[in-house]
Chain A
Amino acid sequence: MSEIDNQALEVYIRTAATALGIPLEEAWIPSIRTNLAISLRLAATVAEFELPDESEPAPVFEA
């Protein structure tokens, strides 16, 4: 990730932590950013897979 991406991600992390009520220490942010960057990169490979509109998620709720 470029420096700008890192900064954007850190802004997102701080904002999301506030929204979720998670207390953050500055020292944790680089590690959280690294983890989040890996997760988002992997998630993108899933998201780019073309799914039919009709596709159902794996877990099926039974009433």
Chain B
Amino acid sequence: METWPTAAEIADAVAQGRTSATAVTDAALSRIEQQNGVLNAFTAVTAARARAKAREVDAARAAGKPLGPLAGVPFAVKNLFDVAGTSTLAGSKINREREPASADSPLITRLESAGAILVGALNMGEYAYDFTGENVHDGPSRNPHDTGRMTGGSSGGSGGAVAGGLVPLSLGSDTNGSIRVPSSFCGLFGLKPTYGRLTRARTFPFVASLDHLGPLARSTRDLALAYDAMQGPDAEDPVCTTRASESALPTLGSGIGGLRVVVAGGYFERGAGAEALSALATVAKALGAEQRIEIPEAARARAAAFIITTTEGGALHMDRLRTNADDFDPATRDRLISGLMIPASLVVKAQKFRRLYREQVLKLFEHHDAILAPATPMVAPRLGQQTMMLEGAEVPLRANIGIYTQPISFIGLPVVCVPVPLQPLPIGVQIIAAPWREDVALRIAHYLETAHVAKATRPPL
């Protein structure tokens, strides 16, 4: 089997007997061995476990048992997901001393229940406080479209592994943009579901108020397959919704008839580079989205997200900052220490503002079904790049990559990031829907994919 099939194509081939889960798994492990030296996407490869699981899938088929919708599909997870028997690194040096996880993250269990096969854990920015995909302990994950460039972060390996064809599906986390930024820089489809939609149990946290988990893939069908397989309540995560699962796959191909799609203007266009604006215009035109709206107080929302992030992050790591400060990436350490020093009064204000902002933005969805916005202001920066140009001024790169993603995840709206295949580098556009309407964002993304406006292109590796 060639190395670029989607998860859906693999599952179909396995179900039809055109290939076996074992053959697919062996091929994935071989690609990882060949390419990971360049891409640095994987920090652990679970070969024995993967082969054992593949044999189970093949045995089930041989016995005539029904196979799951992801039968034989190799996938990998950001290394903040618990994988039984290994320490959950969360991109850090410090966590290498942690006790091995006693059980898998439920999202891994749910994907495996659908027949998917875990092949490893993926590189990430330290403790997820990152937009670059660089990591001082493990080295940077590298962008398959140009290995001298960033994958974006913090789910850097999750982007590199899928864009590089090592696996068709990965899981990442997104607190301020960490699924959407790598999707944009690596040219992938990424889904950040509604806050609370997917259980976060048995993953290493960053900012409890804002943490989300979700899939990255090369097709919208694969996003929907994975998303549907992962839904469901979980008492282990107090934020996880008790709503019934709402499958996205049945309506994926329903088209965009009747959907009211608009473009976020103002804040979301200021500072955007030529590629970001070009991609946005292309997507808007394909959808017939002519109206521009203003998301009120977006800049303040981004500021409030920044404050909640740095303070909750600082609090999470306070003990480690007391005892192991030298073992952090210095850049992470200094941001976390700074976060510890923000007065509590300002954090309370930020959480109160969050509720008012949410009320204002939800009013927009009374008249619109989806809002388009750039995912990142620019295409993938070069590795090591420290600054960027924003509205004519040179500003720090790290803090500003997420200016368009932060105001959205701040209130937990579901987003599909779609890749627009510009040359030489792709860039993403956010399709933002009302809470719990992942199906709407996925429908629109699928329409764009079918129209060849959004496409995960194969890099020249």
Whether A49 lies near B334 (C-beta < 8 A) is no
B205 to chain A, nearest CB (A): 14
- CA gap between A9 and B302 in the complex, in Å: 23
A56 to chain B, nearest CB (A): 6
Residues in B with CB closer than 8 Å to A58 are 209, 351-352, 354-355, 358
Interface string of A2-42 (1 = CB under 8 A from B): 00000000001100110011111000100110011011101
User: Which of B325, B333, B342 sits near A40, CB closer than 8 Å?
Assistant: B342
Whether A51 lies near B352 (C-beta < 8 A) is yes
Whether A36 lies near B338 (C-beta < 8 A) is yes
B299 interface residue (CB < 8 Å to A): yes
A63 interface residue (CB < 8 Å to B): no
User: Which of A32, A40, A45, A51 sits near B337, CB closer than 8 Å?
Assistant: A32
A47 interface residue (CB < 8 Å to B): yes
- CA gap between A51 and B300 in the complex, in Å: 13
The residue in chain A whose Cβ has the minimal distance to the Cβ of B239 is A59
Whether B353 lies near A51 (C-beta < 8 A) is yes
Whether A45 lies near B299 (C-beta < 8 A) is yes
A43 interface residue (CB < 8 Å to B): yes
B306 interface residue (CB < 8 Å to A): yes
B304 to chain A, nearest CB (A): 5
- CA gap between A43 and B337 in the complex, in Å: 16
Residues in B with CB closer than 8 Å to A35 are 310, 334-335, 337-339
- CA gap between A49 and B355 in the complex, in Å: 13
- CA gap between A35 and B334 in the complex, in Å: 7
Interface string of A44-63 (1 = CB under 8 A from B): 01110101000111110000
User: Which of B310, B330, B346, B352 sits near A56, CB closer than 8 Å?
Assistant: B352
The residue in chain B whose Cβ has the minimal distance to the Cβ of A28 is B334
Residues in B with CB closer than 8 Å to A32 are 334, 337-338, 341
The residue in chain A whose Cβ has the minimal distance to the Cβ of B331 is A31
Main secondary structure of the interface of B (DSSP, over half): helix
Whether A20 lies near B338 (C-beta < 8 A) is no
B233 to chain A, nearest CB (A): 15
B323 to chain A, nearest CB (A): 9
Whether A31 lies near B330 (C-beta < 8 A) is yes
Interface residues on B, range: 35 or more
Main secondary structure of the interface of A (DSSP, over half): helix
Whether B399 lies near A43 (C-beta < 8 A) is no
B321 to chain A, nearest CB (A): 6
Most buried by B among A38, A39, A51, A59: A39
Residues in B with CB closer than 8 Å to A55 are 352, 355-356
Most buried by B among A17, A36, A40: A36
A13 to chain B, nearest CB (A): 6
Residues in A with CB closer than 8 Å to B345 are 47
User: Which of B302, B340, B350, B353 sits near A22, CB closer than 8 Å?
Assistant: B340
Residues in A with CB closer than 8 Å to B337 are 17, 22, 24, 28, 32, 35
Residues in B with CB closer than 8 Å to A31 are 330-331, 334
Given contacts A28-B330, A47-B345, 19 further A-B contacts (CB under 8 A): A16-B340, A23-B322, A28-B333, A28-B334, A32-B334, A32-B337, A32-B338, A35-B337, A35-B338, A39-B310, A43-B346, A43-B349, A46-B303, A46-B304, A46-B350, A51-B356, A56-B355, A58-B352, A58-B355
A–B pairs, 28, beta carbons within 8 Å = A16-B341, A21-B322, A22-B337, A22-B340, A23-B322, A32-B337, A35-B310, A35-B335, A35-B337, A39-B306, A39-B310, A39-B338, A39-B339, A40-B342, A42-B303, A42-B306, A43-B346, A43-B349, A45-B300, A47-B345, A49-B349, A49-B353, A56-B355, A57-B351, A57-B354, A58-B352, A58-B358, A59-B209
Binding site for A on B (CB under 8 A): 209, 297, 299-300, 302-304, 306-307, 310, 318, 321-322, 325, 330-331, 333-335, 337-342, 345-346, 348-356, 358, 399
Ranked 8 nearest A-B pairs via Cβ: A57-B351, A35-B338, A42-B303, A58-B354, A31-B334, A43-B346, A36-B338, A16-B341
